[in-house]
Chains A and B, each alone.
Chain A
Amino acid sequence: MSESGLKPQMKYKIETKAVNLHYGSFHALKDVTMGIRDCSITAIIGPSGCGKSSLLRLFNRTNDLIPGVKIGGDILLDGDSIYDKSKDISVIRKRVGMVFQKPNVFPMSIYDNIIIGPKHHGVKNRSKLEEISESCLKQVALWDEVKDILKKSALDLPAGQQQRLCIARALAVEPEVILMDESCSALDPESTMKIEELMANLAQKYSIIIVTHSMEQAVRVSDWSAFMMINEDKIGTLVEYSETTKMFQNPKDQRTEDYITGRFG
């Protein structure tokens, strides 16, 4: 790997190497190799059931929770394998945060939702925690809306605000990568727009990987796009991966073209 020193543009935040994923006897992903760049938004698109969420969930080892899961190949975060036996999973999950499809605020106050992460990573000082909650809520443009009701239950917020709270909660542990699994699909257009603006801001500091079923959204927000599809054996594969503008103007693969021009999916 002496080459990587010569070509800094080839350095990736996350790299997958011939990743294979099995759920029991079901082969879900085959030989996925891709590199994800820092400080950018990468969109994973493709028809339902092509394994895009499965791939995303590999990046912070969320699939480990599913019984019978088998993972082949390797995934590197800053050049280090995250599947290495000596690695502490909670450290990896702290570095690679995740926002889910449906808002999953915890049944506790808005404030407690934000500080629960940092609290368990050793921040005990009250004023420091208050500072974190304020800055994270400001980053997701929720501060003005909730600053007077921080002690109220987060479950009372409307869905759009809940999802932004979930993003703020993920930011509070200072991740390096943020995974978003169709995080706008349960939201109204206005909340979706707010979250897309938010992604663009966050991408200046973090690398963001989103799974989306909306091609419009991929075009609007992402710098890079990965198109996935199941092959003839019904196994999810990566078909094409390039800059979003290139892929949507000039797809290299016939299947990508068929999908983005709306011939199927």
Chain B
Amino acid sequence: MALALSSISALALITIFIIIQGAPIITEVGMFNFIFGMTWAPSQGEFGIFPMIVGSAAVTVGAVLVGVPIGICCAIFLSEFAPVSVRNFFRPAIQLLAGIPSVVYGFWGLLFIVPFIREHLGGPGLSILAASIILGIMILPTIISISEVSLLSLPRQYKEGALALGMTQWQAIRYVQLPAAKSGIVAAIVLGLGRAMGETMAVIMIVGNSVALPQSILDPVRTLTTNIGIEMGYAAGEHRQALFATGIVLFIVIMILNATAQYITRRK
């Protein structure tokens, strides 16, 4: 009981702390200017985070485009086709993906993906695309394990019923089992979104971090998380408050995503 309370109070303390730290700058600059401002120049007192909101959105959407198709196919393979021995090998292997420190992902991206993009697709390499690929891989464990569980927890009768109508195994999956597992799969995607949006270290290393609206997926951007990660070390005064305010925005977005995921899984 006490332990449970302490974890909840930790959450409450963090929430209160970032709001106290960040709220003054929002009221000073104005909510609209803060969120839709195009210029981030702390030394001149300009705090507009719109390019970073776009940056976060771009890498998150990119991560989902990379991770969701792979993750769902993988979950279908594991739950429907893989023999038990293969499944028993893959499942811990996928969990292991979740255990790799994010700095290792970033390092790997910097060594392989960034040069590859630079040489074959152009641009600086440090880009939305690089971050999307790495984040797409990082959200795989979340997407695979939740989708797989929701497919496995379907009553066997759905599959048998579909096959008894003369549908092929693939049709049964595509038109009966996947729609039936929809809520779990959508929850998996939303949680993956939250994870991609909140990731910092790996993204700092490969996304380029320039504060500008991107023109293509080969352009570097800065995300909300990397903004905090890069500048917190030397920020003071209003600049520091503005970083906390960035945190508030991030916090709200991720809260909304997680609440959506919970709402979807509960509504059966």
Given contacts A116-B175, A116-B176, A120-B175, contact A104 B167 (CB under 8 A): no
* A106 in contact with B163 (CB, 8 Å): no
Looking at B10-18, B115-123, B153-161, the stretch in contact with chain A turns out to be B153-161
List of A residues within 8 angstroms of B179 by Cβ: 106-108
List of A residues within 8 angstroms of B166 by Cβ: 90-95, 117, 120-121, 173
List of A residues within 8 angstroms of B175 by Cβ: 116, 120
CA distance in complex: A100, B156 (Å)? 11
Whether A166 sits at the interface, judged by CB under 8 Å, is yes
| Among candidates B158, B167, B180, residue contacting A117 with C-beta atoms closer than 8 Å | B167
Whether B213 sits at the interface, judged by CB under 8 Å, is no
* B165 in contact with A120 (CB, 8 Å): yes
Whether A11 sits at the interface, judged by CB under 8 Å, is no
* A170 in contact with B165 (CB, 8 Å): yes
List of B residues within 8 angstroms of A107 by Cβ: 158, 179-180
Q: What size tier do the contact residues of chain B reach? A: 10 to 19
| Among candidates A104, A121, A172, residue contacting B161 with C-beta atoms closer than 8 Å | A104
List of B residues within 8 angstroms of A97 by Cβ: 164-165
B117 to chain A, nearest CB (A): 42
A183 to chain B, nearest CB (A): 12
List of A residues within 8 angstroms of B155 by Cβ: 104
Whether A98 sits at the interface, judged by CB under 8 Å, is yes
Whether B19 sits at the interface, judged by CB under 8 Å, is no
* A90 in contact with B168 (CB, 8 Å): yes
Contact with B along A20-43 (1 / 0, CB 8 A): 000000000000000000000000
Whether A102 sits at the interface, judged by CB under 8 Å, is yes
* A169 in contact with B165 (CB, 8 Å): yes
Given contacts A93-B166, A94-B166, contact A106 B176 (CB under 8 A): yes
* A60 in contact with B160 (CB, 8 Å): no
Kindly report which residue of chain B lies nearest to residue A108, judged by CB atoms.
B179
Contact with A along B163-201 (1 / 0, CB 8 A): 111111001000110011000000000000000000000
List of A residues within 8 angstroms of B70 by Cβ: none
Interface-central residue, B155, B158, B161, B171, by most chain A CB under 10 Å = B161
Given contacts A106-B176, A120-B175, contact A65 B161 (CB under 8 A): no
The 9 A-B residue pairs whose C-beta atoms are closest, nearest first, are A94-B166, A104-B157, A117-B165, A98-B164, A93-B166, A104-B161, A90-B166, A107-B180, A120-B167
Q: Which residues of B contact A (CB under 8 A)?
A: 155, 157-168, 171, 175-176, 179-180
A sample of 13 inter-chain contacts (CB < 8 A) reads A65-B160, A90-B168, A93-B163, A93-B166, A98-B164, A102-B157, A106-B162, A107-B180, A116-B162, A116-B176, A121-B166, A169-B161, A170-B165
With A65-B159, A100-B161 given, can you name 7 additional A-B contacts, CB distance below 8 Å? A65-B160, A93-B166, A104-B155, A106-B180, A107-B179, A107-B180, A117-B165
Q: Which residues of A contact B (CB under 8 A)?
A: 60, 62, 65, 90-95, 97-98, 100, 102, 104, 106-108, 116-117, 120-121, 166, 169-170, 172-173
